[in-house]
């Protein structure tokens, strides 16, 4: 069996660990966004302070049609905050219902 040199193996592990933390659903659409994920996170947290528990980039009606969607835990409740991926405008900031999407 072929083995990787130790430094190459370490580089692969580090890349996978960093990639897993930075990965999000819809990441393949990022090239169409004008707003970065980091900026969209900051906008969402400004609109609804709390802890982001989930994030995705999706095509959805409203605004430019491309939005970042964040689930944010705030004061014991779950909220969904949508940020337009092209303009940075907050499109949604509402408590999650009993059947979150």
Contact yes or no for 57/31 (Cβ under 8 A) = no
pLDDT digit string, tens, across residues 51-97 = 999 999 999 998 999 999 999 999 999 999 999 999 999 999 999 87
Candidates 3.40.47.10, 1.20.1060.10, 3.10.450.40, 2.60.120.260; correct CATH number of 6-95?
Answer: 3.10.450.40
Please state the pTM of the whole predicted model: 0.75
CA–CA dist 35, 40 (Å, integer):
6
Question: Which residues have C-beta within 8 Å of that of residue 14, sequence separation ≥ 6?
Answer: none
pLDDT at 16 (0 to 100): 45
pLDDT at 3 (0 to 100): 58
Question: Which residues have C-beta within 8 Å of that of residue 96, sequence separation ≥ 6?
Answer: 71, 77, 78, 79, 80
Could you state, in order of their start, the residue ranges of all structural domains in the chain? 6-95
CA–CA dist 78, 25 (Å, integer):
19
- As a whole number, mean pLDDT of residues 26-53 equals 96
Give all strands (DSSP E) within 1-101, no chain letters: 51-59, 66-74, 77-84, 90-95
Q: How far is CA 53 from the centre of its chain?
A: 9
């Amino acid at each position: 069996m072929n083995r990787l040199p130790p430094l190459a193996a370490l580089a692969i592990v580090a890349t996978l660990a960093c990639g897993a933390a930075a990965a999000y659903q819809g990441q393949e659409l990022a090239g169409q966004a004008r707003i970065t994920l980091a900026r969209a996170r900051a906008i969402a947290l400004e609109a609804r302070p709390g802890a982001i528990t989930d994030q995705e980039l999706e095509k959805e009606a409203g605004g430019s049609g491309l939005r970042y969607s964040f689930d944010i835990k705030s004061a014991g409740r779950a909220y969904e905050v949508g940020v337009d991926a092209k303009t940075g405008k907050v499109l949604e900031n509402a408590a999650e219902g009993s059947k979150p999407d």
